[in-house]
Protein backbone atom coordinates (compact mmCIF):
# COMPACT_ATOMS: atom_id res chain seq x y z
CA UNK A 1 0.00 0.00 0.00
CA UNK A 2 1.57 3.36 -1.01
CA UNK A 3 2.33 5.77 1.84
CA UNK A 4 0.32 8.58 0.24
CA UNK A 5 -2.83 6.45 -0.06
CA UNK A 6 -5.98 8.46 0.85
CA UNK A 7 -9.57 7.36 1.22
CA UNK A 8 -12.19 9.55 -0.38
CA UNK A 9 -14.47 9.94 2.66
CA UNK A 10 -17.16 12.53 3.21
CA UNK A 11 -17.61 11.61 6.85
CA UNK A 12 -14.63 11.23 9.18
CA UNK A 13 -15.92 10.94 12.78
CA UNK A 14 -12.36 11.13 14.07
CA UNK A 15 -12.27 14.82 13.16
CA UNK A 16 -14.26 15.53 16.31
CA UNK A 17 -11.88 13.45 18.46
CA UNK A 18 -8.68 15.15 17.30
CA UNK A 19 -8.27 17.56 20.23
CA UNK A 20 -9.52 17.67 23.82
CA UNK A 21 -11.39 20.90 23.11
CA UNK A 22 -13.33 19.29 20.25
CA UNK A 23 -14.08 16.22 22.31
CA UNK A 24 -15.50 18.36 25.10
CA UNK A 25 -17.73 20.27 22.68
CA UNK A 26 -19.44 17.09 21.47
CA UNK A 27 -19.48 15.20 24.77
CA UNK A 28 -22.99 13.77 25.21
CA UNK A 29 -22.95 12.71 28.85
CA UNK A 30 -21.43 14.64 31.73
CA UNK A 31 -21.22 13.60 35.37
CA UNK A 32 -20.96 16.18 38.12
CA UNK A 33 -21.09 16.19 41.93
CA UNK A 34 -24.74 17.28 41.80
CA UNK A 35 -25.60 13.88 40.28
CA UNK A 36 -24.53 11.95 43.39
CA UNK A 37 -26.16 10.72 46.57
CA UNK A 38 -23.59 9.56 49.12
CA UNK A 39 -24.57 6.51 51.22
CA UNK A 40 -23.32 6.66 54.82
CA UNK A 41 -23.41 4.12 57.66
CA UNK A 42 -23.97 5.18 61.27
CA UNK A 43 -23.20 3.32 64.51
CA UNK A 44 -23.51 4.13 68.20
CA UNK A 45 -20.45 5.55 69.88
CA UNK A 46 -18.52 8.77 70.10
CA UNK A 47 -16.27 8.86 68.26
CA UNK A 48 -16.57 5.78 66.08
CA UNK A 49 -14.88 5.11 62.76
CA UNK A 50 -14.93 1.46 61.71
CA UNK A 51 -13.71 0.60 58.22
CA UNK A 52 -15.87 -1.98 56.45
CA UNK A 53 -13.54 -4.79 55.44
CA UNK A 54 -15.13 -5.50 52.08
CA UNK A 55 -15.51 -1.80 51.17
CA UNK A 56 -12.11 -0.04 51.24
CA UNK A 57 -12.40 3.58 52.27
CA UNK A 58 -15.97 3.22 53.56
CA UNK A 59 -16.57 3.53 57.30
CA UNK A 60 -19.27 3.16 59.89
CA UNK A 61 -19.37 6.50 61.68
CA UNK A 62 -20.75 7.86 64.93
CA UNK A 63 -23.44 10.52 64.78
CA UNK A 64 -20.86 13.24 65.47
CA UNK A 65 -18.62 11.95 62.70
CA UNK A 66 -21.57 11.61 60.32
CA UNK A 67 -22.43 15.27 60.92
CA UNK A 68 -18.83 16.28 60.14
CA UNK A 69 -18.83 14.09 57.02
CA UNK A 70 -22.09 15.61 55.83
CA UNK A 71 -20.63 19.08 56.12
CA UNK A 72 -17.72 18.03 53.91
CA UNK A 73 -20.07 16.33 51.45
CA UNK A 74 -22.18 19.47 51.15
CA UNK A 75 -19.03 21.56 50.57
CA UNK A 76 -18.11 19.26 47.67
CA UNK A 77 -21.36 20.10 45.90
CA UNK A 78 -23.03 16.73 46.57
CA UNK A 79 -26.69 17.52 47.27
CA UNK A 80 -27.82 14.45 49.24
CA UNK A 81 -26.84 11.60 51.53
CA UNK A 82 -28.54 8.25 52.15
CA UNK A 83 -28.27 7.14 55.78
CA UNK A 84 -28.20 3.51 56.95
CA UNK A 85 -27.92 2.33 60.57
CA UNK A 86 -25.91 -0.55 62.00
CA UNK A 87 -27.62 -1.55 65.20
CA UNK A 88 -26.31 -3.46 68.16
CA UNK A 89 -27.44 -7.09 68.04
CA UNK A 90 -29.29 -6.75 71.36
CA UNK A 91 -31.70 -4.28 69.74
CA UNK A 92 -32.83 -6.69 67.02
CA UNK A 93 -35.77 -9.05 67.15
CA UNK A 94 -37.98 -10.96 64.75
CA UNK A 95 -40.44 -8.06 64.38
CA UNK A 96 -37.84 -5.29 64.02
CA UNK A 97 -39.50 -3.33 66.82
CA UNK A 98 -36.50 -0.98 67.23
CA UNK A 99 -37.48 0.61 63.89
CA UNK A 100 -40.42 2.27 65.68
CA UNK A 101 -38.44 3.57 68.64
CA UNK A 102 -38.70 7.41 68.52
CA UNK A 103 -35.07 7.58 69.71
CA UNK A 104 -33.68 4.91 67.41
CA UNK A 105 -30.25 5.56 65.95
CA UNK A 106 -31.32 6.65 62.47
CA UNK A 107 -33.81 9.24 63.75
CA UNK A 108 -31.26 10.80 66.09
CA UNK A 109 -28.82 10.91 63.19
CA UNK A 110 -31.30 12.62 60.88
CA UNK A 111 -32.09 15.27 63.47
CA UNK A 112 -28.40 15.95 64.09
CA UNK A 113 -27.55 16.24 60.39
CA UNK A 114 -30.53 18.49 59.65
CA UNK A 115 -29.59 20.79 62.51
CA UNK A 116 -25.99 21.08 61.30
CA UNK A 117 -26.39 21.01 57.49
CA UNK A 118 -30.01 21.97 56.74
CA UNK A 119 -29.32 22.51 53.03
CA UNK A 120 -28.31 18.86 52.52
CA UNK A 121 -31.09 16.50 51.42
CA UNK A 122 -31.42 13.30 53.44
CA UNK A 123 -32.66 9.97 52.11
CA UNK A 124 -33.60 7.27 54.62
CA UNK A 125 -34.23 3.60 54.02
CA UNK A 126 -37.71 2.29 54.77
CA UNK A 127 -37.15 -1.43 55.33
CA UNK A 128 -36.74 -3.70 58.32
CA UNK A 129 -33.56 -5.63 57.47
CA UNK A 130 -31.25 -3.56 59.74
CA UNK A 131 -33.69 -4.17 62.62
CA UNK A 132 -34.69 -7.83 62.30
CA UNK A 133 -32.77 -10.70 63.85
CA UNK A 134 -33.33 -12.81 60.70
CA UNK A 135 -32.14 -10.12 58.26
CA UNK A 136 -35.29 -9.97 56.17
CA UNK A 137 -36.83 -6.71 54.97
CA UNK A 138 -40.08 -7.38 56.80
CA UNK A 139 -41.81 -9.53 59.39
CA UNK A 140 -42.13 -13.24 58.69
CA UNK A 141 -45.36 -15.16 58.35
CA UNK A 142 -46.50 -17.82 60.84
CA UNK A 143 -44.57 -20.54 59.01
CA UNK A 144 -41.36 -18.44 59.06
CA UNK A 145 -40.82 -19.18 55.37
CA UNK A 146 -41.90 -15.88 53.76
CA UNK A 147 -42.32 -12.20 54.53
CA UNK A 148 -45.84 -11.12 55.42
CA UNK A 149 -46.53 -8.39 52.86
CA UNK A 150 -49.41 -6.47 54.45
CA UNK A 151 -48.20 -6.59 58.07
CA UNK A 152 -44.83 -5.36 56.87
CA UNK A 153 -46.36 -2.47 54.91
CA UNK A 154 -48.22 -1.34 58.03
CA UNK A 155 -44.91 -1.09 59.91
CA UNK A 156 -43.21 0.66 56.99
CA UNK A 157 -45.91 3.35 57.02
CA UNK A 158 -45.17 4.07 60.68
CA UNK A 159 -41.44 4.14 59.94
CA UNK A 160 -41.91 6.59 57.07
CA UNK A 161 -43.98 9.00 59.18
CA UNK A 162 -41.42 8.93 61.99
CA UNK A 163 -38.62 9.61 59.52
CA UNK A 164 -40.58 12.51 58.05
CA UNK A 165 -41.08 13.91 61.56
CA UNK A 166 -37.30 13.75 62.06
CA UNK A 167 -36.80 15.89 58.95
CA UNK A 168 -35.87 13.60 56.06
CA UNK A 169 -36.40 14.84 52.52
CA UNK A 170 -36.91 11.44 50.84
CA UNK A 171 -38.25 8.27 52.41
CA UNK A 172 -36.98 5.37 50.32
CA UNK A 173 -38.88 2.08 50.64
CA UNK A 174 -36.40 -0.61 49.59
CA UNK A 175 -38.36 -3.64 50.76
CA UNK A 176 -40.18 -4.50 47.49
CA UNK A 177 -43.48 -5.23 49.23
CA UNK A 178 -46.58 -4.89 47.04
CA UNK A 179 -48.53 -1.66 47.57
CA UNK A 180 -46.10 -0.04 49.96
CA UNK A 181 -45.56 3.17 47.96
CA UNK A 182 -49.26 4.04 47.90
CA UNK A 183 -49.71 3.16 51.57
CA UNK A 184 -46.70 5.25 52.60
CA UNK A 185 -47.86 8.20 50.50
CA UNK A 186 -51.27 8.11 52.15
CA UNK A 187 -49.73 7.81 55.61
CA UNK A 188 -47.41 10.77 55.01
CA UNK A 189 -50.21 12.94 53.65
CA UNK A 190 -52.53 12.02 56.51
CA UNK A 191 -49.84 13.01 59.01
CA UNK A 192 -49.31 16.36 57.27
CA UNK A 193 -46.03 15.54 55.51
CA UNK A 194 -47.13 16.30 51.99
CA UNK A 195 -43.70 17.76 51.15
CA UNK A 196 -41.80 14.61 52.09
CA UNK A 197 -40.95 12.85 48.84
CA UNK A 198 -40.95 9.12 48.12
CA UNK A 199 -37.92 7.66 46.37
CA UNK A 200 -39.08 4.16 45.52
CA UNK A 201 -36.72 1.25 45.02
CA UNK A 202 -38.95 0.24 42.13
CA UNK A 203 -36.78 -2.38 40.43
CA UNK A 204 -34.67 -3.91 43.18
CA UNK A 205 -33.26 -7.22 42.08
CA UNK A 206 -32.43 -10.30 44.14
CA UNK A 207 -28.78 -9.69 43.40
CA UNK A 208 -25.53 -11.30 44.49
CA UNK A 209 -23.92 -7.83 44.58
CA UNK A 210 -25.30 -6.87 48.02
CA UNK A 211 -22.88 -8.85 50.20
CA UNK A 212 -20.65 -6.00 51.42
CA UNK A 213 -23.70 -3.87 52.29
CA UNK A 214 -25.05 -6.65 54.49
CA UNK A 215 -21.73 -6.65 56.30
CA UNK A 216 -21.92 -2.87 56.66
CA UNK A 217 -25.36 -2.82 58.31
CA UNK A 218 -24.91 -6.10 60.16
CA UNK A 219 -27.91 -7.86 58.66
CA UNK A 220 -27.84 -11.66 58.48
CA UNK A 221 -24.63 -12.84 56.84
CA UNK A 222 -25.58 -16.38 55.86
CA UNK A 223 -26.08 -15.62 52.16
CA UNK A 224 -27.72 -18.52 50.35
CA UNK A 225 -29.44 -19.99 53.38
CA UNK A 226 -33.20 -20.28 53.65
CA UNK A 227 -33.53 -17.25 55.90
CA UNK A 228 -31.65 -14.94 53.54
CA UNK A 229 -33.33 -16.02 50.33
CA UNK A 230 -35.11 -12.83 49.32
CA UNK A 231 -36.40 -14.17 46.02
CA UNK A 232 -40.04 -14.03 47.17
CA UNK A 233 -39.98 -10.24 47.18
CA UNK A 234 -36.88 -8.94 45.37
CA UNK A 235 -37.00 -9.24 41.58
CA UNK A 236 -35.65 -12.10 39.49
CA UNK A 237 -32.43 -10.93 37.72
CA UNK A 238 -33.68 -12.70 34.59
CA UNK A 239 -36.67 -10.36 34.20
CA UNK A 240 -36.72 -7.14 32.21
CA UNK A 241 -40.36 -6.31 31.45
CA UNK A 242 -41.28 -6.82 35.10
CA UNK A 243 -39.08 -3.86 36.04
CA UNK A 244 -41.21 -1.53 33.94
CA UNK A 245 -44.38 -2.98 35.45
CA UNK A 246 -43.08 -2.45 38.99
CA UNK A 247 -41.99 1.08 38.18
CA UNK A 248 -45.33 2.03 36.62
CA UNK A 249 -47.17 0.71 39.69
CA UNK A 250 -44.96 2.84 41.96
CA UNK A 251 -45.55 5.93 39.82
CA UNK A 252 -49.30 5.32 39.91
CA UNK A 253 -49.10 5.01 43.70
CA UNK A 254 -47.32 8.35 44.06
CA UNK A 255 -43.56 7.75 43.79
CA UNK A 256 -41.68 11.00 43.19
CA UNK A 257 -38.46 9.24 42.13
CA UNK A 258 -38.04 5.66 40.91
CA UNK A 259 -34.90 3.60 41.33
CA UNK A 260 -33.08 0.67 39.73
CA UNK A 261 -30.78 -1.41 41.95
CA UNK A 262 -28.09 -2.60 41.22
CA UNK A 263 -26.88 -0.28 38.47
CA UNK A 264 -23.81 -1.54 36.62
CA UNK A 265 -25.14 -4.98 35.69
CA UNK A 266 -28.59 -3.54 34.97
CA UNK A 267 -27.89 -0.72 32.52
CA UNK A 268 -30.51 -2.12 30.17
CA UNK A 269 -33.08 -1.89 32.95
CA UNK A 270 -32.16 1.73 33.66
CA UNK A 271 -32.73 2.51 29.99
CA UNK A 272 -36.06 0.63 29.92
CA UNK A 273 -37.28 2.54 32.97
CA UNK A 274 -35.99 5.86 31.60
CA UNK A 275 -37.88 5.31 28.34
CA UNK A 276 -41.10 4.41 30.14
CA UNK A 277 -41.47 7.33 32.55
CA UNK A 278 -40.99 11.07 32.85
CA UNK A 279 -40.26 10.75 36.58
CA UNK A 280 -36.67 11.20 37.78
CA UNK A 281 -34.73 7.94 37.74
CA UNK A 282 -32.20 6.99 40.42
CA UNK A 283 -29.73 4.14 40.16
CA UNK A 284 -27.78 2.54 43.01
CA UNK A 285 -24.19 1.53 42.29
CA UNK A 286 -24.17 -1.08 45.02
CA UNK A 287 -21.54 -2.30 47.43
CA UNK A 288 -20.49 -5.27 45.32
CA UNK A 289 -19.85 -3.04 42.31
CA UNK A 290 -17.72 -0.74 44.45
CA UNK A 291 -15.85 -3.65 46.03
CA UNK A 292 -14.98 -5.40 42.77
CA UNK A 293 -13.57 -2.23 41.22
CA UNK A 294 -11.39 -1.66 44.28
CA UNK A 295 -10.29 -5.30 44.36
CA UNK A 296 -9.24 -5.29 40.70
CA UNK A 297 -7.43 -1.98 41.17
CA UNK A 298 -5.54 -3.32 44.19
CA UNK A 299 -4.38 -6.25 42.07
CA UNK A 300 -3.12 -3.82 39.44
CA UNK A 301 -5.61 -5.04 36.86
CA UNK A 302 -7.61 -1.80 36.54
CA UNK A 303 -6.88 1.90 36.77
CA UNK A 304 -9.05 2.94 39.74
CA UNK A 305 -9.78 6.60 38.81
CA UNK A 306 -10.55 5.81 35.17
CA UNK A 307 -12.66 2.74 35.95
CA UNK A 308 -14.54 4.59 38.69
CA UNK A 309 -15.34 7.43 36.30
CA UNK A 310 -16.32 5.13 33.43
CA UNK A 311 -18.61 3.04 35.63
CA UNK A 312 -20.53 6.12 36.74
CA UNK A 313 -20.58 7.61 33.26
CA UNK A 314 -22.20 4.41 31.96
CA UNK A 315 -24.94 4.63 34.60
CA UNK A 316 -25.65 8.25 33.74
CA UNK A 317 -25.54 7.50 29.99
CA UNK A 318 -28.07 4.69 30.47
CA UNK A 319 -30.56 7.24 31.76
CA UNK A 320 -30.08 7.78 35.49
CA UNK A 321 -30.70 11.31 36.75
CA UNK A 322 -29.07 10.61 40.12
CA UNK A 323 -26.67 7.93 41.33
CA UNK A 324 -26.23 6.51 44.80
CA UNK A 325 -22.56 5.60 44.93
CA UNK A 326 -19.84 4.99 47.51
CA UNK A 327 -17.51 6.80 45.12
CA UNK A 328 -19.44 10.07 45.60
CA UNK A 329 -16.86 11.98 47.65
CA UNK A 330 -13.83 10.73 45.72
CA UNK A 331 -15.48 11.49 42.40
CA UNK A 332 -16.57 14.95 43.51
CA UNK A 333 -12.98 15.75 44.49
CA UNK A 334 -11.68 14.38 41.19
CA UNK A 335 -14.19 16.40 39.19
CA UNK A 336 -13.12 19.59 40.92
Q: What is the mean pLDDT of residues 230-246?
A: 96
Catalytic residue among 204, 226, 230, 316: 204
Residue 214 pLDDT > 90 = no
Q: CA–CA separation, 151 vs 164, rounded Å? A: 21
Q: What is the mean pLDDT of residues 16-32?
A: 95
Helical segments of 97-194, H only: 105-116, 149-166, 180-190
Q: Which of 38-52, 66-80, 216-230 has the lowest mean pLDDT?
A: 216-230
Q: What is the mean pLDDT of residues 66-70?
A: 97
What pLDDT was estimated at residue 220? Answer: 55
Catalytic residue among 92, 230, 261, 316: 261
204 is catalytic: yes
Q: What's the mean pLDDT when you consider all of the chain?
A: 94
Q: How far is CA 244 from its chain centroid?
A: 18
Q: What is the mean pLDDT of residues 158-177?
A: 97
pLDDT confidence tier of residue 212, bands split at 50, 70 and 90: confident
Q: CA–CA separation, 71 vs 48, rounded Å? A: 17
Residue 258 pLDDT > 80 = yes
Q: Where are the domains of the chain?
A: 30-335
| The CATH fold of domain 30-335 | TIM Barrel (3.20.20)
What pLDDT was estimated at residue 240? Answer: 97
Q: CA–CA separation, 320 vs 31, rounded Å? A: 11
pLDDT confidence tier of residue 51, bands split at 50, 70 and 90: confident
Instruction: Tell me the helix, strand and coil percentages in the chain, rounded to 5.
Output: 45, 15, 40
Amino acid sequence: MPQNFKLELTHRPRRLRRHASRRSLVEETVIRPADFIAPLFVVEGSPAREEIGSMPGVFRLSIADIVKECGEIHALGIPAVALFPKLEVRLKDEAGTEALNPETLILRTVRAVKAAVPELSIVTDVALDPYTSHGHDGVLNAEKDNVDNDRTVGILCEMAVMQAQAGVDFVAPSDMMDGRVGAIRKALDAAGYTDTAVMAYSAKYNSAYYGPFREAVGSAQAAGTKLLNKATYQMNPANRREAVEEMLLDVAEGADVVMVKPAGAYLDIIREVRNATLRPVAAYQVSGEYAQIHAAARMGWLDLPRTRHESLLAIKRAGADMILTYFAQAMAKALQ
